[in-house]
Chains A and B, each alone.
Chain A
Amino acid sequence: MKQLIHIIEDDQSVKKLLEIAFKEYDFNSISSNTKSNAMIMFLSHNPDLLIVDLGLPDGDGKDFIKQIREISKIPIIVLTARHDEKEIVAALDVGADDYITKPFSVNELLARIRANLRRKIEPENINSSIVCDELELNIVSRDITFKNEKLKLTPIEYELLKYFMLNANKTLTHNQILQEVWGTGYQSQMQYLRTYVNTLRKKIEKNSTRPKYIKTESGIGYRFSCNQN
């Protein structure tokens, strides 16, 4: 069955572009112009994924995300013209899974939609092992192998890479990562995150300035890119 994407966007041309793209790539879609209509449509149609524009005529898209998060774990991708990093970080922190800024490439958006839908289908932690291309995480034995060889990682490096792999293809804010890997009270300790990402990249990336796995979302955080075939 085709999956249903709910577009919450007031700009007609963007909406049209999305509808055409979704139709072309075998998704069904419904759309709403306003926050209030979006809630009604969400409850009546039960979509598989939400695309939310942050600037809606009847209020901030963040509030809508917050409301949705109280009742559902549905993947949410934020679409925004605002290049304001603070806004994006705030949206991710209230529960959005990913974001994309306008002007965006449809391919990029589709890739993110697929990745997020996939995560919905395979809820985390069912398998004791997670594979991402040449990387394999075994949660039970606490091992990560790269090209079938065991990686030598410090405990924090392991925790960080594990967190990335468990949340693959999702934009993680600096705050979220510091909180999850280092613990409460470390949110402002960016130097740890920067340093560990740098050393991790040296261990798993062929070219650290062109990373294949740990991608930087400037001013926002990181996203671990993973092609689970």
Chain B
Amino acid sequence: MRNILEKITKYKYIYKTLGILFLITLISHLFKEYLDIINIALIHIIPVVIIAIYGNVKATIFITLLSVVFLNFLYIPPLYSFSVHNELYIWSFLIFGIVGWIITIQAKNLNTQTKQNELRESLLHIISHDLRTPLSTIHGSINLILSNEKLDMESKNNLLEDINYSSLRMKRLITNLLDSTRLSSGSIDLKLEWCDFEDIVGVALNEFSQKQNDEKLDIKIDELSLFWGDNTLLTQLIINLLDNAFKYSKPNTKIYLEIHNLNNFTKIKVFNESEYIDKQKLKNIFDKFYRFEDTNDISGSGIGLAICKSIVKLHNGEIKAIAQNDGISIEIKLPIIKTVEVK
């Protein structure tokens, strides 16, 4: 039900344009005697222009067709028939189409520009906020160490640990920012090769501290079966999945990472316990810069899972987030396109 309502509000402009079209036809019909066919044709182009502004190609085609049909049926001789005597009118119809098409294209360009601007803004937001947070930790800790000679060893070490951790966070964020621009600009070439997930997980684990790994992680990987994919991107995928799980999991709970080889796909599953999550919100979890509103205090940009989605898509796979009783599990299916036997 909610979906239908959403759709209705989303395509409201189509109904509005339809209304305008009927109104115009009515007016034309009433003042048929005073208006020449040319003027009637000209006002029938109004709905085409209006719909085209929304940049929806299908809607534009639909309204243009309707406009032309009305015009033809009601005003172009022979009246009340769909046949056309004068071939010149065919040209008029074509011009209708062209006008609609040009405006639609322009509107589309404008739309993408607005979206890009929005993206750029959120990017700046991230850079200022998410890079600033670890940076202020680094800056503050260093100042404290520099200005306080009598600091005892333990607090000094604590501060240094913080600096180390913050700098790692910054490094990961920068990698992610670079990756995301690379992935979204579509300029990326997949470098396909034989990958071993055990190897990939091993590399991914290096990104996290030993303590995090040992205490929290429970990993299960099926016996060796090489996967044909992009090794670097798949590594990034696992890193981001784990990073996300570490960020949002409840303290003192385990994180489960499972990789299984099924018949025609490899399944990756990451599960972490977390607070209750609204199922509606889960759908947006893979959108760029999305973050649960109530989790503002957790550092991160919401960029990680968007990258996961891009990587999975590049491998023609599926990714979904499932809310379970006590947490979130993210499941990925990557199709196996090639198999190999090594003697």
Docked CA distance A197–B195 (Å): 12
Q: Does A103 contact B (CB under 8 A)?
A: yes
Q: Does B250 contact A (CB under 8 A)?
A: no
Q: Are B167 and A197 closer than 8 Å at their CB atoms?
A: no
Q: What's the minimum C-beta distance from B305 to chain A, rounded to whole angstroms?
A: 21
Q: Does B193 contact A (CB under 8 A)?
A: yes
Q: What's the minimum C-beta distance from B318 to chain A, rounded to whole angstroms?
A: 25
Interface residues of A in 154-181 (CB under 8 A from B): none
Docked CA distance A85–B235 (Å): 14
Docked CA distance A198–B222 (Å): 12
Q: Does A57 contact B (CB under 8 A)?
A: no
Q: What's the minimum C-beta distance from A178 to chain B, rounded to whole angstroms?
A: 12
Docked CA distance A119–B232 (Å): 30
The 0/1 profile, CB within 8 Å of B marked 1, for residues 84-104 of chain A is 010000000000000000010
Name, among A103, A190, A192, A218, the residue most crowded by chain B CB atoms within 10 Å (CB to CB). A218
Q: Are B342 and A218 closer than 8 Å at their CB atoms?
A: no
Partner of A209 from the list B202, B226, B231, B235 (CB cut-off 8 Å) is B202
Instruction: Select from chain A the residue with minimum beta-carbon distance to B210.
Output: A210
Instruction: Select from chain B the residue with minimum beta-carbon distance to A174.
Output: B193
Q: Are A194 and B235 closer than 8 Å at their CB atoms?
A: no
Q: Are A191 and B167 closer than 8 Å at their CB atoms?
A: no
Q: Are B199 and A216 closer than 8 Å at their CB atoms?
A: yes
In this complex, how many residues of chain B approach chain A with their Cβ under 8 Å: the count is 24
- A85 partner residues in chain B, CB cutoff 8 A: 232
Q: Are B199 and A198 closer than 8 Å at their CB atoms?
A: yes
- B314 partner residues in chain A, CB cutoff 8 A: none
Q: Does A227 contact B (CB under 8 A)?
A: no
Q: What's the minimum C-beta distance from A214 to chain B, rounded to whole angstroms?
A: 9
Taking chain B's interface residues, is the majority helix, strand, or loop, or is none over half, making it mixed? helix
Q: What's the minimum C-beta distance from A60 to chain B, rounded to whole angstroms?
A: 22
Q: Are A198 and B196 closer than 8 Å at their CB atoms?
A: yes
Taking chain A's interface residues, is the majority helix, strand, or loop, or is none over half, making it mixed? helix
Q: Are A216 and B202 closer than 8 Å at their CB atoms?
A: yes
Q: What's the minimum C-beta distance from B87 to chain A, rounded to whole angstroms?
A: 62
Q: Are B205 and A209 closer than 8 Å at their CB atoms?
A: yes
Q: Are A195 and B167 closer than 8 Å at their CB atoms?
A: no
Known: A191-B340, A219-B231. A197 touches B196 (CB 8 A): yes
Q: Are B203 and A216 closer than 8 Å at their CB atoms?
A: yes
Interface residues of B in 321-336 (CB under 8 A from A): none
Docked CA distance A198–B194 (Å): 12
- B194 partner residues in chain A, CB cutoff 8 A: 190-191, 194
Q: Does A55 contact B (CB under 8 A)?
A: no
Known: A191-B342, A219-B231. A209 touches B167 (CB 8 A): no
Docked CA distance A209–B213 (Å): 11
Q: Does A129 contact B (CB under 8 A)?
A: no
Q: Does A46 contact B (CB under 8 A)?
A: no
Q: Does B224 contact A (CB under 8 A)?
A: yes
Q: Are A191 and B198 closer than 8 Å at their CB atoms?
A: no
- A219 partner residues in chain B, CB cutoff 8 A: 231-232
Docked CA distance A146–B67 (Å): 83
Q: Are B199 and A210 closer than 8 Å at their CB atoms?
A: no
Q: Are B226 and A194 closer than 8 Å at their CB atoms?
A: yes
Docked CA distance A216–B195 (Å): 12
Docked CA distance A13–B175 (Å): 22
Docked CA distance A194–B195 (Å): 7
Q: Are B224 and A198 closer than 8 Å at their CB atoms?
A: yes
Docked CA distance A172–B203 (Å): 16
Q: Are B199 and A197 closer than 8 Å at their CB atoms?
A: yes
The 0/1 profile, CB within 8 Å of A marked 1, for residues 163-203 of chain B is 00001000100010000000000000000011110111111
Interface residues of A in 189-222 (CB under 8 A from B): 190-192, 194-199, 201, 208-211, 216, 218-219
Q: Are B202 and A192 closer than 8 Å at their CB atoms?
A: no
Name, among B171, B175, B202, the residue most crowded by chain A CB atoms within 10 Å (CB to CB). B202
Q: Are B193 and A190 closer than 8 Å at their CB atoms?
A: yes
Known: A191-B194, A194-B194, A218-B235. A209 touches B342 (CB 8 A): no
Nearest 4 interchain pairs by C-beta: A191-B194, A195-B342, A194-B196, A218-B203
Q: Which residues of A contact B (CB under 8 A)?
A: 83, 85, 103, 190-192, 194-199, 201, 208-211, 216, 218-219
Q: Which residues of B contact A (CB under 8 A)?
A: 167, 171, 175, 193-196, 198-203, 205, 213, 219, 221, 224, 226, 231-232, 235, 340, 342
A-B contact pairs, 23 of them (CB 8 A): A85-B232, A190-B193, A190-B194, A191-B194, A194-B195, A194-B196, A194-B199, A194-B226, A195-B224, A195-B226, A196-B342, A197-B196, A198-B196, A198-B199, A198-B224, A201-B198, A208-B198, A209-B202, A209-B219, A210-B213, A218-B200, A218-B231, A219-B232
